[in-house]
Structure 1
């Protein structure tokens, strides 16, 4: 049994770079989702059905948080929220395994993700029953949406580059207006990242260049996992146990906003260092030799 779990926990997922995954994803959420994947495939459950099941689990979590003053209900809210995160990982696995990934499915997945937090925020605000609570919930919700969009954009850029793929043309945003708004924010930094993309595309060894960049950017991307849903789910539970959901909203508004700004700025600094490298310098030297050490120490 121990060997089986280790195999499941570290099974390769080409859509995710394990170096920048939150520990709770690597050792709990994704292993459980991968263990459930064969069951879902045998039962012919669609990815969209899994997304909707996750939304129901999230709605149940929100209902529990209506009575957050009770430790038992708060714990139930945490467990159901973890169930939602497992479903959130499983739906993508099902879509990839069955070749049914689509723009509509991606929109539904994103809608369910944000919908769960909206329901939890509303439940907490209703339980507090004050104008201050509603104001904090709305401000925190808006900042949460912006931070999540930027975080997903940063992750997508990192993972694409680490695979050796440069993008010298800013992505075209299409689809439903909500999808366009979310993607426009997520890709808003792409225009400013063009010097890096052009330098990578023009390198004699773009794959090696991407690997060198990834090694330099991993610490920043790991710090950015604080912006993941996992951190918010845990912090909501902790704030309820501490006796005030307001503590979570203040954490969202102040701490996570600072983390988002600091890590995005740090990521841009890494890009600028690589974009400034002379075109004649071979990328292999960046990985194995003094040139990379010099770059990392700046």
Structure 2
């Protein structure tokens, strides 16, 4: 539902010359309204309204990237702004729920869950972007444009942490005589761990927050973040590295089977 809505809005946004950065900031404002609704988790109508506003925020989160690509205005600054707005909404939601709970235990859970969320999201975004790039046979060693500005460089360094951890496969892909073929074989094998890692998307968290607030117990979401989502991230990352090692240590590969619909849901743009 979210990306189709974004695609329907894209022509109108382009026609009215609405910039990607404007959409990112609008998404932040919508997410702020959602956080205020979740602060009243004791009343189910506010939980429902919070879900509706959260979906609208996710639409904006996807639309800004669509606009940037359609208008050729993508930039490192815009990418960083998009990431800051995304994380900002979740921080506001966590703080709003912690204030509503109003206990030391609640704040402790919110802080730990927030730290886990930041780590998981950063790792997942790196894995997702790398997966889609490699599937096209493009290695990081091919070179990328250097970001300018200390803030953008710091953001890119943080987001690029998984890339550095997986550099051995990047070298293997870069040195391959058939990068596209190797990329296709890698993608077919890596799609399973990537689907597990896709539990880290904002869509899953938004639904989990809504269900926890609907039950009038936001602590359930924080425990879900700390426990199951962390476990899924650890297993998915280890699984993905194992797939990479398979190709690093292999010298001969069977012909690639054309994977049916390689797809990993994209959340950030």
Displacement of 1:201: 2.1
TM-score, normalised to structure 1, is: 0.82
Q: Distance in 1 between matches of 2:149 and 2:110?
A: 26
Structure 2 unaligned spans of 5+: 259-269
Q: In structure 2, do the counterparts of structure 1 residues 171 and 141 end up closer, same or farther at CA, with 3 Å as the change threshold?
A: farther
Paired residues of 2:120 and 2:230 also in contact (CA < 8 A): yes
Q: Does 2:165 correspond to 1:189?
A: no
Q: Distance in 1 between matches of 2:152 and 2:123?
A: 14
Larger radius of gyration: 1
Q: Does 2:39 correspond to 1:70?
A: no
Q: Distance in 2 between matches of 1:125 and 1:149?
A: 23
2:192 to 184, 208, 219: 219
For these two proteins, the number of residue pairs brought into alignment is 258
Q: Distance in 2 between matches of 1:124 and 1:177?
A: 33
Aligned to 1:287: 256
More contact order relative to length (CA 8 Å, sep ≥ 6):
2
Q: Which 4+ runs in 1 deviate beyond 4 A?
A: 169-182
Aligned to 2:73: 100
Q: Does 2:231 correspond to 1:262?
A: no
Structure 1 unaligned spans of 5+: 1-27, 290-298
Question: What does 1:41-52 align with in structure 2 at a 5 Å threshold?
Answer: 41-52=14-25
Question: What does 1:1-298 align with in structure 2 at a 5 Å threshold?
Answer: 28-168=1-141, 174=147, 179-278=152-251, 281=252, 285-288=254-257
Q: In structure 2, do the counterparts of structure 1 residues 119 and 176 end up closer, same or farther at CA, with 3 Å as the change threshold?
A: farther
Q: Distance in 2 between matches of 1:107 and 1:62?
A: 22
Q: In structure 2, do the counterparts of structure 1 residues 201 and 239 end up closer, same or farther at CA, with 3 Å as the change threshold?
A: same
Q: In structure 2, do the counterparts of structure 1 residues 288 and 113 end up closer, same or farther at CA, with 3 Å as the change threshold?
A: closer
The CA RMSD over aligned residues, in Å, is: 1.9
